[in-house]
Amino acid sequence: MNLYQERISRVCKRMQEAGLSQLLITDHLSIYYLTGIDVLPFERFWALLMRVDNGPILFANKLFALGDTGFETVLYTDTDDISAMVAPYIAAGMLGVDKNIAARFLLPILDACEGTRPVLGSDCVDRVRACKDEAEKELMRRASQINDSCMEKLVAFLHDGVTERECAAYLDRCYAEYGCEGLAFDSIISFGANASDPHHTPDDTVIHEGDCIVIDIGCKKEHYCSDMTRTYFWKKADSAYVALYNLVREANERAEAMVRPGVRLCDIDAAARDHIAAAGYGEFFTHRLGHFIGMEDHEQGDVSSINTGLAQKDMVFSIEPGIYLPGKFGARIEDLVIVTEDGCELLNHVEKQIRILGNASNE
């Protein structure tokens, strides 16, 4: 059984557990995951119909020029009636659909399929994608190795007078040198008070002595994402902010020490959140501890106070506690982890002990 057949088999097993005999998938990344065929369809219909009792069927516009896909494939043109094309392959009863399907496609298909009732079936794919196979884990290690290297290059690039926007442009060039497809998400590079905004967009703010520096970056390499955050200080650091930085680092390390199969994801969140709250800064940790990641930077699944699901071997997610003092200061430390049989593998290896940059004696 090849890689894609094995993944299809795992999804079909999930479908059976959910009581579904058919599932219409339109998420182009999930289709790539299951077939190895990479199509970005834009506004056009691109779908994979999974059937427990029969093989999958691809629906594709002729302009995609797929050639021999290895799957049963139904082709159409821009002037064809998509609902009429799909309807003959849909059985009466429950039809699983994914969370990405556009209403402009789904509603006409349902009108053309008498006795068909749609149900959300995304979990059948998302829960399989959440646990990475060996090929995926290796790709994620490579992407994170690149991210580690580019973080160190960016740190070395920092200099008096540089702006956040210039740093972001430099980082783009670094990723390009490593042959990355692009960014996993818009880079977050924040100087000083800008770091109090967890999702700050780099602007023309210039670095100043005493600034905290939050760098949250990731690339996409061979379809898979990296993601890491580090916090630094420029030339000097206020002792109160150093204490907050160390509090965040301790929270990060406590949560990572909790990760293993069978541990509730909400308990991993609590390991970090309770440590920060005990020091009086709970209200300033304003987001969940982590998110799942793979072909997308934020995949289905998270590490949050309300997710009572269990960590499973081969899940990959972020651990990223933070403290944000509005208009003053921010610190976040983020690693990606792979859940192993008895703990976790850290994908990021950039130093987390405090670093004061811009001063040769502290480099």
- CA-CA distance, 335 to 323, in Å (whole number)? 16
Instruction: Quote the pLDDT of residue 1.
Output: 61
- CA-CA distance, 199 to 128, in Å (whole number)? 29
User: Could you read off the pLDDT of 163-184 as tens digits, one per residue?
Assistant: 999 999 999 999 999 999 999 9
Average pLDDT, the chain: 96
Residue 177 tokens read as: 């040198």
Instruction: Quote the pLDDT of residue 67.
Output: 86
Residue 114 is classified by DSSP as: T
Instruction: Quote the pLDDT of residue 261.
Output: 98
Residue 320 φ/ψ, nearest 5 degrees: -145, 70
Residue 361 has pLDDT above 70, yes or no: no
Q: Residue 65: which pLDDT band, with cuts at 50, 70 and 90? A: confident
Least confident of 66-75, 195-204, 230-239: 66-75
User: Could you read off the pLDDT of 119-151 as tens digits, one per residue?
Assistant: 999 999 999 999 999 999 999 999 999 999 999
Output Rg (C-alpha) for the chain, integer angstroms. Answer: 23
- Sign of the torsion formed by the C-alpha atoms of 259, 139, 145 and 296: negative
- CA-CA distance, 275 to 281, in Å (whole number)? 9
Instruction: Quote the pLDDT of residue 360.
Output: 57
Residue 256 has pLDDT above 60, yes or no: yes
Instruction: Quote the pLDDT of residue 359.
Output: 81
Query: How far from chain centre, in Å, is Cα 19?
Result: 28
Report whether 91 contacts 77 (CB < 8 A). Answer: no
Report whether 333 contacts 252 (CB < 8 A). Answer: yes
Instruction: Quote the pLDDT of residue 37.
Output: 96
What is the bridge-based pairing of β-strands 335-339 and 344-346?
A: antiparallel
Burial (CB < 10 A; 0-12, 13-18, 19+), residue 85, is: middle
User: Could you read off the pLDDT of 5-40 as tens digits, one per residue?
Assistant: 999 999 999 999 999 999 999 999 999 999 999 999
Residue 299 tokens read as: 């995949």
Classify 327 as helix, strand or coil.
coil
* Overall average pLDDT of the 74-95 stretch: 96
The pLDDT > 70 percentage for the chain reads 99
Amino acid of residue 209? E
- CA-CA distance, 31 to 127, in Å (whole number)? 15
Residue 304 has pLDDT above 60, yes or no: yes
Q: Which helix (H) or strand (E) holds 177?
A: helix 164-177
